[in-house]
């Protein structure tokens, strides 16, 4: 398998990650996951913008990779013959003797990227069950940093509870989930946590907000409580892996009638129509 290594495409086995890479030691880096449909990157501009914003928030230089990033990722897609799948790429601050503050002398950041073909033998679930869990993450989760331990712990808790996803609750309100944004539907209106430092500005969330506006669905970007979550008519999550997926049970409480709701279904349909010119038939 070939991967992206700074500005080159090389065999995965040929690279060496320095044990003093700050991504490895401190989680000092950022990443993106972009879906590939029919060999094309979905919502590239939005992902790229978020990547640059995360880098700027952490003062990680992107200068050396900016120019060729997209074309290198396209080469990677072609070389690995990926039609549908995703690309994961990450940028760490680079390698320096271990010391918490950023290196006084700038070191070259380290970019790695790999593509994965869509796993047709293991498609994403058509609906999900979830648990809630305390949001113990830091207060800048708008930065898409490599520090994902609280997310990993939450997802592990969900798996051990026999469900798919863990929904974060901070100060009594629903923020998002361990690897997705969350929407509730009540009386025909969509509810989701407002964009701030407590959630990731999900690219799929952005697409869903656009589709909701096209479908004339009112959206209220306001935090709501766990109790309000249980009482929603519909709940769904959004991310690059599943796009839109209904959540039919939370903490063993049935949501709505326990199946995919009509508004969720209409957004899923609009999403697949958006993708249909991109998916080869
Ligand atoms: N929130 C969190 C915590 C996530 O990890 C993700 C997936 N990266 C999302 C939201 C959804 O983001 P996107 O729609 O850009 O995949």
* Segment 2-15, tens digit of pLDDT: 999 999 999 999 99
**Is residue 53 helix, strand or coil?**
helix
Task: Give the pLDDT score at 251.
Answer: 98
Task: Give the pLDDT score at 66.
Answer: 84
Tokens 């290196």 belong to residue: 103
Read off the tokens for 149.
Answer: 């331990």
Backbone angles phi, psi at 19, to 5 degrees: -60, -20
Q: Is the pTM for the entire model greater than 0.95?
A: yes
The domains found in the chain, sorted by start residue, are 2-117 (3.30.470.10), 128-278 (3.20.10.10)
For residue 144, indicate whether it is catalytic. yes
Tally Cβ neighbours within 10 Å of residue 120.
7
Long-range residue pairs from 17-20, CB within 8 A, at least 24 positions apart, any chain = 17/110, 17/112, 18/95, 20/95, 20/96, 20/97, 20/98
Q: Is 202 in the pocket of ligand 1 (CB under 6 A)?
A: yes
Task: Give the pLDDT score at 275.
Answer: 95
Using alpha carbons, list the distances in angstroms from residue 140 to 54, 57, 101, 199.
10, 10, 18, 8
Atom of ligand 1 nearest to the CA of 206: 14
Distance 23 CA to ligand 1 centre (A): 20
Q: Is 181 in the pocket of ligand 1 (CB under 6 A)?
A: yes
Q: Is 92 in the pocket of ligand 1 (CB under 6 A)?
A: no
Cβ neighbors of 67 (< 8 A, separation 6 or more) are none
Using alpha carbons, list the distances in angstroms from residue 156 to 40, 199, 256.
32, 20, 26
Cβ neighbors of 82 (< 8 A, separation 6 or more) are 36, 39, 115, 116, 117
Q: DSSP secondary structure string, 197-252?
A: TTS---HHHHHHHHHHHHTT--EEE---BHHHHHT-SEEEEEETTTEEEEEEEETT
Read off the tokens for 197.
Answer: 């430092």
Q: Whose CA is nearest to atom 4 of ligand 1?
A: 179
- List 144, 155, 269, 278, catalytic entry: 144
Q: HSE (CB half, 13 Å, CA atoms) of 90?
A: 18
C-beta of residue 88 within 8 angstroms of C-beta of residue 111: no
Q: DSSP secondary structure string, 83-110?
A: SSEEEEEEEE--B-SS-SSPPSS----E
Long-range residue pairs from 160-163, CB within 8 A, at least 24 positions apart, any chain = 161/131, 162/129, 163/128, 163/129, 163/130, 163/131, 163/249
Q: Is 200 in the pocket of ligand 1 (CB under 6 A)?
A: yes
Backbone angles phi, psi at 131, to 5 degrees: -120, 165
C-beta of residue 179 within 8 angstroms of C-beta of residue 204: no
Q: Is 203 in the pocket of ligand 1 (CB under 6 A)?
A: yes
Task: Give the pLDDT score at 279.
Answer: 64
Task: Give the pLDDT score at 280.
Answer: 58
**Cα–Cα distance, 215 to 178 (Å, whole number):** 28
Read off the tokens for 250.
Answer: 């939370």
Please give the radius of gyration of the chain, using alpha carbons only, rounded to the nearest integer.
19
Q: What is the pLDDT of residues 210-250, one digit of tens each?
A: 999 999 999 999 999 999 999 999 999 999 999 999 999 99
Distance 81 CA to ligand 1 centre (A): 26
Read off the tokens for 280.
Answer: 């080869």
Positions in the chain short of pLDDT 50: none
Task: Give the pLDDT score at 65.
Answer: 86
**Cα–Cα distance, 159 to 176 (Å, whole number):** 17
């Amino acid at each position: 398998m070939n991967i992206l290594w700074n500005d080159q495409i090389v065999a995965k086995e040929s690279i060496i990650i320095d044990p003093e890479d700050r991504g490895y030691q401190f989680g000092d880096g950022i990443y993106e996951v972009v879906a590939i449909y029919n060999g094309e990157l979905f919502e590239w501009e939005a992902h790229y913008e978020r990547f640059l914003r995360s880098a700027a928030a952490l003062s990680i230089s992107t200068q050396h990779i900016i120019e060729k990033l997209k074309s290198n990722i396209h080469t990677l897609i072609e070389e690995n013959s990926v039609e549908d799948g995703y690309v994961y790429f990450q940028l760490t601050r680079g390698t320096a003797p271990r010391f918490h503050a950023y290196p006084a002398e700038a070191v070259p950041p380290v970019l790695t990227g790999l593509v994965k073909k869509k796993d047709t033998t293991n498609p994403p679930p058509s609906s999900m069950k979830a648990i809630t869990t305390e949001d113990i993450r830091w207060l800048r989760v708008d930065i898409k940093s490599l520090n994902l331990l609280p997310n990993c712990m939450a997802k592990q808790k969900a798996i051990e509870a026999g469900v798919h996803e863990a929904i974060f609750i901070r100060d009594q309100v629903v923020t998002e989930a361990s690897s997705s944004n969350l929407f509730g539907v009540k009386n025909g209106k969509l509810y989701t946590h407002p964009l701030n430092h407590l959630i990731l500005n999900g690219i799929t969330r952005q697409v869903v907000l656009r589709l909701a506006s096209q479908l004339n669905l009112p959206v209220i970007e306001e935090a709501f409580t766990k109790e309000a979550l249980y009482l929603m008519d519909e709940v769904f999550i959004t991310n690059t892996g599943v796009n839109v997926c209904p959540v039919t049970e939370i903490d063993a409480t049935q949501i709505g009638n326990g199946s995919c709701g009509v508004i969720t279904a209409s957004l899923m349909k609009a999403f697949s129509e958006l993708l249909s010119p991109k998916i080869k038939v």
